[in-house]
Structures are given as C-alpha cells and as structure tokens.
Chains A and B, each alone.
Chain A
Amino acid sequence: MSEEEQTGTQNPEGSEKAAEASASNRFGPVRGYNFAYLDEQTKRMIRRVILKAIAIPGYQVPFGGREMPLAYGWGTGGIQITASIIGPGDVLKVIDQGSDDTTNAVSIRQFFRRTTGVKTTEKTVEATIIQTRHRIPETPLSADQIMVYQVPIPEPLRWLEPREVETRKMHALEEYGSMHVKLYEDITRHGRIAIGWNYPVLVNHRYVMSPSPIPKFDNPKMDRSPALQLFGAGREKRIYAVPPHTTVKSLDFEDHPFQVERWDRCCGLCGADDSFLDEIIVDDQGTRLFVCSDTDYCSQRRTEQAAKDRESPESAALADRLQEMAP
C-alpha cells in the first residue's frame, strides 16, 4: 500500500474526478480493518435483520447497532446497512440533500472508499447502491438498484407518543387513530395537512412508516418502486424495508387528497420544471435563484441540452450562455 493509502491523504492538486477514477487504487481497504469496517458477526446480525425487515414491509426491526467512526445522527444506520450489503462489484453513490457534493455525503463516500475500495459514482444510472439523506433521486430507479435511506427518528408516531413501549403496541394493534386525528386537526387549523417532509405513509396496507425526512414531493417515488428500499436508524437502532413493487400510500382523506409541492418557476440552470428545487440567495438584496436539488439530474439535463444545441446553429448562442452557467 502506498504512503498515500496508509495515511488516507489526498493529492491536493488532483481534481475530484481524478480521485474517483483511481479510487480503488488510492483508497484500498484501510489496513487493520475488515472489509467495510464492520466485523463479520455484526454484518451477519444486520443481514439477518434486513431479511426479516423485507419480509415485514414498513415494520421497524430492532437491531444491536454499533458505534461507527461517524457520529450518531450523521448516518450511522445507513452506513451499517451499506457496509453489510456492499460487495466489491457494487458501484456506490452517496447523496445528501440530493447532492453528491455536500460535506457529509463526501465524508461517507470517502469512508466507503477507504474501507472497501469499491467504485463510487455521482451518476444515478451507474449506481447499484445509493445511500441517501433526505432525498430520492429524480432519475427513476431500476430493479437492480438498492436505496439505503438514513433515518433520524424511525418512529412515525413519536411526536404523538414519546414512549417506545406505547408506539410498539400501537403498531401491533394497528391503532393509528391518533395519527388520523392529528392530520384532521391540521385540516381544521390550516385547511390542509401541514406536513412538508417526513410525511407518514401506509406500507402494504398494514404498517404506518416514516419515509425518512424526504420532502413529501418524493413520497410518490416510493410507491411500487422497482428498487429495494432499506432504511437505517443507527442511533435509535432500527432497520426497516420496503420490497420492490409494494404499495406505499401517503396518508390523507378522501376530501383532502395528498398533494406534492410545486414551484412557480424552473431550475435556473437546466430549466427543469419537474424536479425539487433548492432556493439559493445570491446577494444581500435577497435575490433568489432556484436550482435542482438533484445535482446529477441537473448536470445530465445540461449535458444533453448542450449536445442538442450544438446540433442546431440557431440555438448556439443560447447553448453558449447555458455552458457559461455550468460549473
């Protein structure tokens, strides 16, 4: 192993792309640790839990979670799941707030590079495992992909009932009345269900589940997805799952059906009108720019547009302007 690999340092001159291209060489498994950091007994325990979780869609399985080198609350549940399923042939994508480049996504991706040497990518279509915090990619997922969600509070009923002893009983008895009451109270107070993220869902017509703090905009993507969805809460020590092609229904009422967010503008970089937008304040006067939260989706669209525009001389000028805006 080279000195660089031993110390885990990076060539400060190299670009991110160059680093990724040679990732499996420079970030081979860290000496002294098992592949993917966890010992085999822990992996076995988590693997057994994952199988039971998939067999009971939406039900939170308790597991003997371990302390990880990243802090509780910073993705240890997702990391433990990914560490237990990942193999050398996988391609890993890690996003946070929809972007590959947010600091914690970078940190987690580096952790896996160091402990597995597995190939990583920013392109959703190339990934076999996607670990995410707070978003589902805009690009539709396929049957050979696995989504791993980082979950802070796995219990959807926690804000109604702080006690685990009670909420576990409520799930056992399918007693979700207090949730429906809370939603209806929202309607009487605000004229709508006023939950913007972590919007509770009913899975396989049985368990009410927290989809993790994704915006409700993303909820429909979970319904009958062809991909396997795994959820990890490290601090709370719970794992749950939604198998592919499983109904995931956002809770609502017949006269107040579930609705997603809409913006009255498109992405300022790629023009998308169908993606979740980040709001960026660009000057002290409060001027705002809205851009796709999903950085891969946005950059793919811009690449495609640039290719199209190159073919048509009339829009060459517009293409030039768009290219100026691209980083």
Chain B
Amino acid sequence: MTLHTSTITVPRPRSRVWASFGENIAYAIGLPILLLVIWGIWASASPAPFFPSPLIIFEAFVDTWVGPAFVTDVLPSLGRLGLGILLSVLVGIVAGTLIGLVRWLRDLLEPMLEFFRAIPPPVLIPIVAVLLGPTDTMKITVIVAGSVWPVLLNTIDGVRATDSVMTETARSFALTPVERIRYLVLPAASPRIMAGTRQSMSIALILMVISEMFYSSSGLGYRIVYFQRNYLIAEMWGGILLLGLIGVLLAGIFGFVERRVLRWYHGIKEVERA
C-alpha cells in the first residue's frame, strides 16, 4: 500500500542557492531596468516637457512623497482603499453566501445584480457626492459600490456550485447551519471568492484614484490632478509611479493571503498535474 507522499528537502549548497536567487531577481527586474535605461537615453537625447527623464521623476518622487505628503496624501488614500476593499469583500461574501444559499432570494435579486454590475462604477461619483458631500464616506461608498460586484457574484456562483455529495455528507452527519457554512460552503466557494477579490481590488484602486480626482482636497488622485494642472509634470509622473507601487504592494499582499487560504486548492492542482 502506498504511503502518502512526503517531501524530503535536501539542503542545497549555499552558493547555488544564492546563484539561483540572483538569477530570479535578474529576470524579475531585468526588463524594467532596460526600459528605464532606454527612456533615460531618449529623454536626454530629445528632451520633451511632458516626458522628463526617469532620474528627474525619481528626484521629484522622493521630494514629493518622502515627508509630510506621505501623511497628508498617501495615508488617507491608503486608508480609504483599505477600508473600501475590506468592506467590499465583507459585504460581498456575506451577501453572496446568503443569496447563494437562499433560492428565492437569488431568483429575486439576480437580474437586478446583473444590471447594477453593468453600470460603470465611476458614474456613481456625482450621485454619491451629491448625497454625501466631499467626505471620506463618499469615497469609501464609491469604492465599495464599484468593487463589491466581483466578490458578490463570484461568491454567489461559488456557493451555488457546492458539490452535491459534499452537501449530502454535511446533511447526513447533521452539521448545524453555522458549521455547514464554516466548514463546507465557504471553503468550497473560496477559490471563486479569491478570484472575485482579486478583481475587486483592482477596481477599488481605480475608484480610489478617480473619487479623489473629483471633490477632494487630499489623496493621491487629488495630488496627481493638482500637479498636472500646475505643470509639475515630473511630480505628476512620480504620483503615477507611486500608484503603480501601491498596486504591486496590493498584489503582493493578495498573493500572500491567497497562498494560505487556498493551500489545499493549489495542492490538488499540483497532484492532478503530476
């Protein structure tokens, strides 16, 4: 009888570990560096006012964001973004589980949900701004109203697609409703929920910036528009760079959480591929 597979890690020689680490890094940042170099040469060969050289942008980046602006603009933006994502995921999972489990609720709501999902989220900004004023609540509301849909709809689908034998198993062992949701419904839907969360996060980032471009006096979106209107082009590019970095950071955090939550899922995929 075959025993379960156990992985035995054989320590590799230190030098080779470092060599492969260096190789990975080189692959990861090789192309960006190459592009930056080309950009730099181009910018110094034919200076264009709207495309300053990367060095100037970097300088502006440090001058602008390292210091009080981090507190007055970056932190508020990150706060709105974080709260917006958190609320979207929370509302999406809770409402999605409920709608996915209760058939009449699903029949009642599904056509309407498709309609709301189809509305481009930025058009909500003028309406919400009129209702709530130029507040943080307005921005978070806009972020949630736009980014809740992928989590919500994916959760509904994931909950509905729970395997029938797994459900019968839960019934036959008389699991309580809470246990069923905790140990069956949510884990079964978790790959879909995570896929939805990934989409929601990128929508949330977009909406954070857009909501700050209108009706705001702080935040990254506000700053970038402010720089553009005052012909501070290098600073504007610096803001865009910062947004890109925030996007990368978000993806990193997401990947970290996803690997933990879906460890079993990736494990099955690996076994199937092997």
Q: Do A and B bind each other?
A: no
| B residues lining the A interface (CB < 8 Å) | none
